[in-house]
Chain A
């Protein structure tokens, strides 16, 4: 029988996720033209991505005291939590809509439909840009629906917290799976929406309507305003809170070998799982859509659920021999980040006429043409692959619930240790450890970006 408390938690999470996804999609839809038409935004658009790379644990940690002061006002606390989620996931929405293959019906075609007085909304959702919006909405919904780190620090009602509490005193895997049926079904439905809505190939040329300059200015103001609020709430406040006390303790912390060792373990788990994900993504790229859909299922239930399932699996007699090895954790991280890879890969790997021309140029016998083709290939394909690798490595590096459950004895990753230490409040050494642990991935990502941007076309003049 379904627990009433679980049902309530799922419904509340569902409503919150709908609101967050709706807000993100609406904002992204409104701001998208500026990304394509305002030169400054085009040039510095990557700055919009900053909130994605704010570790959720640091956000939750920074706002846990604010949440405490709102303990008698749960609605306000929930609104703050929802706002933080929207800030984090807005860049994802923008990226998805910006990079998704164009919808089958262009804006011009939609206008023709309007003139012909055909059902505009149906066409918009089924064939027009609405299809891309639905896909972005569904992705953000799932991200918000399975979030755990921030909600666990801000004590909001969330089905994953219910599931976590239900494990007390030991719960058999069968019960956990039964409890998962409702939240799992919600994720499943939304995932189905993602794969149905995602255009597989560029079928038509996309013509976005050009807004008037007045409208464009309004949209630009909205984008800049939102971005500044995002920076303030998700970057400046949390990092100021952490960085200030970290400076004094940094010299001590960087000389502690165990911290580097733990960061090393985290990097190792992230690297191995990213490698596995790369293999899976490549292989699954050739399989029918339903196979990819099926492979995404476990990951979409969230890290806690994946951790519990893998833990249960490796505690059975069959797989117990590998229980103390890194394998369970690497597998868990693979499942957790696989949906992101499967959703982002086709979006980032746009097939276009330009790519076809590059491919044709590579066949040329002229060496200069071949060099040019290699550079074009790098720009078109390798760069997006690097970006995807960076995003996946980032997700796996920052995972908390599965890592806490599955790290082998003596091989605990850095993030788990930080979460443990955060229980005691803020102090200098912890802040320095947070900086060290969380600055490393952005540095590596920055390196990726530099590499991907640094390759210039050779001079053929």
Chain B
């Protein structure tokens, strides 16, 4: 049977189509280059701000929407997600240094902020919000300002031990630590935790401590959320996590309690604030200032303290509006280690952690 209709195209036909495909591809590339050679993209429409937000969207989005509603300023928000914690917004801002797109960065920790500060990516701004935050939580030149903090805490399964410092000491003295857990310290607040330890214990002290803990079987979880789950589900007895993760477990009705984590020698806590900053070259500096002042206001700090994360207000607030839990956290926060001293240890700790986990 003649099957001419089923035959593949002839060789010359194939070559012709290949050539067309290549030409089309070249046209697309040429088009892209042409567009790229055009003058920079126009600045956003008046009244629009680009916001990068590393704080969990569950808590931050309602506040940002509220800002939009109250001011009429439209926000284009890029959220950080757990999926991209190592590819986060801090890295994006560094890569975008020469072509800044972002106006305001709401970071949920401080190490990334210190990194941006050291790379000259931030624009100083001292507004009304800046004034109400204590000096320990803001950059002296106004490059960034801290607000609404969380603490590093022990999370304890109360079905397994009582939530006392003594019980924790007994647990930590055991030869086998496979009921103790911490998140992988490569990212997030656990990295801040390790950087504080580097600064206070010294390089060798931290490395020895880490080696000892892992050799005794301490469980390394993927994240603080997983650390919380391991303890809440009784797979582990105690662990280090953040207050917001602890409260998730508490609100789910799990048998957990917390104690603040304190540094061995100084008895200081680790209090990690959110930080907000304006990006150098921000396309909308005036609108950016409005948002920064808004986020640093007493009202927003109270609102964040009333969220399920129970974030700790750093500036003066009407105490009557705070729950007893937050009042207690506020006391512990005042005993915090000064995180602004971490700059020298920041990169060194990261380099060591990368060699530890990636080599």
Please report A residues at the B interface, Cβ cutoff 8 Å.
3-6, 65, 68-69, 71-72, 152, 155, 162, 164-170, 200-201, 283-284, 286-288, 291, 308, 311, 315, 317-324, 351-353, 355-356, 359-360, 400-401, 404-405, 407-410, 412, 416-417, 419-425
Given known pairs A284-B21, A324-B41, A410-B76, the reply for A166 and B233 (CB within 8 Å) is no
In the bound complex, what is the Cα–Cα distance between A167 and B354 (angstroms)? 10
Chain A minimum-CB-distance residue to B232: A425
Q: What chain A residues lie within 8 Å of B18 (beta carbons)?
A: 286-288, 291
Please state if A286 and B358 are interface contacts (CB–CB under 8 Å).
no
Q: What chain B residues lie within 8 Å of A6 (beta carbons)?
A: 358
Please state if A425 and B252 are interface contacts (CB–CB under 8 Å).
yes
Q: How large is the interface on B (under 10, 10 to 19, 20 to 34, 35 or more residues)?
A: 35 or more
In the complex, chain B residues 189-238 whose Cβ is within 8 Å of any chain A Cβ: 219, 221-223, 225-226, 229-230, 233, 235
Given known pairs A320-B99, A420-B81, the reply for A356 and B6 (CB within 8 Å) is yes
In the bound complex, what is the Cα–Cα distance between A283 and B229 (angstroms)? 50
B253 to chain A, nearest CB (A): 12
In the bound complex, what is the Cα–Cα distance between A333 and B6 (angstroms)? 32
Please state if A409 and B78 are interface contacts (CB–CB under 8 Å).
yes
Question: Of A164, A324, A407, A422, which contacts B101 at CB under 8 A?
Answer: A324
Q: What chain A residues lie within 8 Å of B223 (beta carbons)?
A: 423
Given known pairs A169-B354, A315-B96, the reply for A419 and B229 (CB within 8 Å) is no
Please state if A322 and B230 are interface contacts (CB–CB under 8 Å).
no
Q: Does B166 contact A (CB under 8 A)?
A: no
In the bound complex, what is the Cα–Cα distance between A404 and B226 (angstroms)? 21
In the bound complex, what is the Cα–Cα distance between A359 and B1 (angstroms)? 14
Please state if A69 and B36 are interface contacts (CB–CB under 8 Å).
no
Please report B residues at the A interface, Cβ cutoff 8 Å.
1, 3, 5-6, 8-9, 13-14, 17-18, 20-21, 24, 32-33, 35-36, 38, 40-41, 50-52, 56-58, 75-79, 81-87, 90-91, 94-96, 98-99, 101, 178, 184, 186-187, 219, 221-223, 225-226, 229-230, 233, 235, 248, 252, 350, 354, 357-359
Please state if A317 and B77 are interface contacts (CB–CB under 8 Å).
no
How many CB-defined contacts (below 8 Å) exist between A and B?
Answer: 166
Please state if B78 and A407 are interface contacts (CB–CB under 8 Å).
yes
B33 to chain A, nearest CB (A): 7
Please state if B36 and A288 are interface contacts (CB–CB under 8 Å).
no
Please state if A167 and B86 are interface contacts (CB–CB under 8 Å).
yes
Chain A minimum-CB-distance residue to B356: A5
14 new A-B contacts, CB < 8 A, other than A164-B87, A166-B358, A170-B95, are A3-B358, A68-B235, A167-B87, A168-B86, A168-B186, A169-B86, A283-B20, A283-B24, A288-B18, A291-B18, A317-B98, A356-B6, A420-B81, A420-B83
Q: What chain A residues lie within 8 Å of B8 (beta carbons)?
A: 200-201
Please state if B57 and A420 are interface contacts (CB–CB under 8 Å).
yes
In the bound complex, what is the Cα–Cα distance between A360 and B40 (angstroms)? 56
Given known pairs A155-B222, A423-B225, the reply for A65 and B233 (CB within 8 Å) is yes
In the bound complex, what is the Cα–Cα distance between A291 and B354 (angstroms)? 38
Please state if A401 and B3 are interface contacts (CB–CB under 8 Å).
no
In the bound complex, what is the Cα–Cα distance between A228 and B40 (angstroms)? 57
Please state if B3 and A356 are interface contacts (CB–CB under 8 Å).
yes
Chain B minimum-CB-distance residue to A360: B5
A35 to chain B, nearest CB (A): 25
Please state if B79 and A315 are interface contacts (CB–CB under 8 Å).
no
In the bound complex, what is the Cα–Cα distance between A308 and B84 (angstroms)? 11
In the bound complex, what is the Cα–Cα distance between A423 and B82 (angstroms)? 7
